[in-house]
Amino acid sequence: MTTGLIYDDIFLEHAVPEWHSENPGRLRAIMALLAERGLLAHPDLLRLAPRPATDDELAAVHTPEYIASVAAAAAQAQPGYLTCLDADTFVGPRSAEVARYAAGAALVGIDAVMAGTVTNALALVRPPGHHAEPDAAMGFCLFNNVAVAARYAQRAHGVGKVLIIDYDVHHGNGTQHMFYDDPTIAYCSVHQAPFYPGTGQYDELGEGPAKFTTCNAPVPAESELELYDAIFREVFMPFTDRFRPDLILLSAGFDTHWRDPLAQVRLDVIGQTLLTYYVNQWAKAYCGGKLVAVLEGGYNHEATANAVAASLALLLGVAESPDTVGPPPPINFRWNSEAVIGELRRVQELVGYRRKPRPAGPAPDEWDAPDEDGA
In a domain, residue 373? The reply is: no
In a domain, residue 375? The reply is: no
**N- to C-terminal Cα separation, the chain:** 29
Residue 279 belongs to domain with CATH number:
3.40.800.20
Structure confidence at residue 345 as a pLDDT band (50, 70, 90): very high
Share of the chain above pLDDT 90, in %: 90
Give the span between the Cα atoms of 166 and 350, in whole angstroms.
Answer: 20
- What is the domain range of residue 275? 3-368
Question: Which range (36-45, 151-160, 315-324) has the least confidence?
Answer: 315-324
Q: What average pLDDT does this structure show over 150-170?
A: 98
Q: What average pLDDT does this structure show over 102-120?
A: 98
pLDDT in tens, 291-301: 999 999 999 99
Distances in Å between the Cα of 11 and the Cα atoms of 21, 95, 295, 308 are 15, 9, 12, 16
Residue 358 confidence (pLDDT) above 80: no
Question: Which range (56-65, 133-142, 316-325, 342-351) has the least confidence?
Answer: 316-325
Active site residues: 131
In a domain, residue 336? The reply is: yes
Give the span between the Cα atoms of 308 and 315, in whole angstroms.
Answer: 10
Q: Residue 356 has what pLDDT?
A: 64
Give the span between the Cα atoms of 350 and 217, in whole angstroms.
Answer: 14
Give the span between the Cα atoms of 299 and 279, in whole angstroms.
Answer: 22
In a domain, residue 326? The reply is: yes
What are the b/e assignments for 125-146, b being 16+ CB within 10 Å? bbbbbbbbbeebbbbbbbbbbb
Question: In this structure, are strands 83-86 and 89-91 parallel, antiparallel, or unpaired?
Answer: antiparallel
Average pLDDT taken over every residue of the chain: 94
In a domain, residue 374? The reply is: no
Q: Residue 333 has what pLDDT?
A: 84
Share of the chain above pLDDT 70, in %: 94
Q: Residue 367 has what pLDDT?
A: 39
Question: Which range (42-51, 166-175, 239-248, 363-372) has the least confidence?
Answer: 363-372
In a domain, residue 342? The reply is: yes
Residue 183 confidence (pLDDT) above 90: yes
Predicted TM-score (pTM) of the model is 0.94
In a domain, residue 350? The reply is: yes
Torsion of CA 225, 322, 49, 141, to 10 degrees: 40
Q: Residue 359 has what pLDDT?
A: 53
pLDDT in tens, 301-328: 999 999 999 999 999 999 778 999 999 9
Domains: count for the chain = 1
Structure confidence at residue 357 as a pLDDT band (50, 70, 90): low
Rg (C-alpha) for the chain, rounded Å, is: 19
Nearest to 180 by CA among 212, 149, 155: 212
Question: Which range (104-108, 275-279, 368-372) has the least confidence?
Answer: 368-372
Nearest to 5 by CA among 123, 170, 161: 123
**Which amino acid belongs to residue 16?**
V
What residue spans of 216-336 are helical by DSSP H? 225-231, 237-243, 269-287, 301-316
Structure confidence at residue 368 as a pLDDT band (50, 70, 90): very low
Q: What average pLDDT does this structure show over 52-70?
A: 98
- Residue 233 has φ and ψ, to the nearest 5°, of -75, -40
Residue 48 confidence (pLDDT) above 50: yes
What 8-state DSSP symbol labels residue 327?
Answer: P
Structure confidence at residue 369 as a pLDDT band (50, 70, 90): very low
Nearest to 246 by CA among 143, 110, 44: 110
Three-class SS state of 122: strand
Task: Give the distance from CA 129 to its chain's centroid.
Answer: 9
